[in-house]
């Protein structure tokens, strides 16, 4: 799966978890750009992404992403 496909899937998960179908993510998107992306929803997003891609992030990773691109990289490192 390439990164653009991962981004598309992550975008769908954001739309579903945050219940907002206007969300359009790019690699540069941060929590400041998406109003509902707060600490509570971040955890829900992490769990939904893990389920979808059948992966597990480390505790450090969960706290470390500065933007969607870094999140996509973490996923990409696990799914080949």
Partner 1 sequence: MEQPLNYIYQKIETLSPMHSKKLKKNIAFFDERYYEQANSFFARYINILHHDHKTLDYSIDCYLRMIADVNSETVEFLRTGKYTSSTFAEVNQRVYARPETMEYYMHGLIMSQFLWKHHYQMLQYFTDTLPQYIKATKSYLEVGVGHGLYLSKALEILNDNTTLTAVDISETSITLAKNFIKDSRINYNLKDIFEFNNRKKYDFITLGEVLEHVEDPLKLLQKLKTLLSDEGILFFTTPTNAPAIDHIYLFNTVGEIQDIIKAAGFEIETERSLLSEEVSPERAAKLKIAILYGAFLKKSKAS
Where along the sequence are the contacts to partner 1 (CB under 8 A)? 30-32, 37-40, 42-44, 46-47, 50, 56-57, 59, 62-63
Q: Measuring CA to CA, how many Å separate 59 from each of 20, 46, 55, 63, 79? A: 27, 11, 13, 7, 18
Q: Report the residue number, 4 or 55, with the smaller CB distance to partner 1.
A: 55
Question: Rounded to the nearest whole angstrom, what is the least distance from the CB of residue 4 to partner 1 in the complex?
Answer: 25
Nearest to 37 by CA among 17, 65, 60: 17
Q: Report the residue number, 22 or 32, with the smaller CB distance to partner 1.
A: 32
């Amino acid at each position: 799966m390439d990164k653009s496909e991962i981004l598309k899937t992550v975008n769908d998960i954001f739309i579903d978890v945050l219940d907002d179908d206007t969300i359009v993510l790019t690699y540069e998107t941060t929590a400041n750009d998406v109003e509902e992306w707060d600490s509570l929803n971040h955890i829900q997003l992490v769990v939904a992404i893990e389920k979808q891609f059948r992966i597990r992030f480390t505790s450090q990773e969960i706290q470390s992403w500065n933007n969607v691109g870094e999140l996509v990289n973490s996923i990409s490192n696990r799914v080949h």
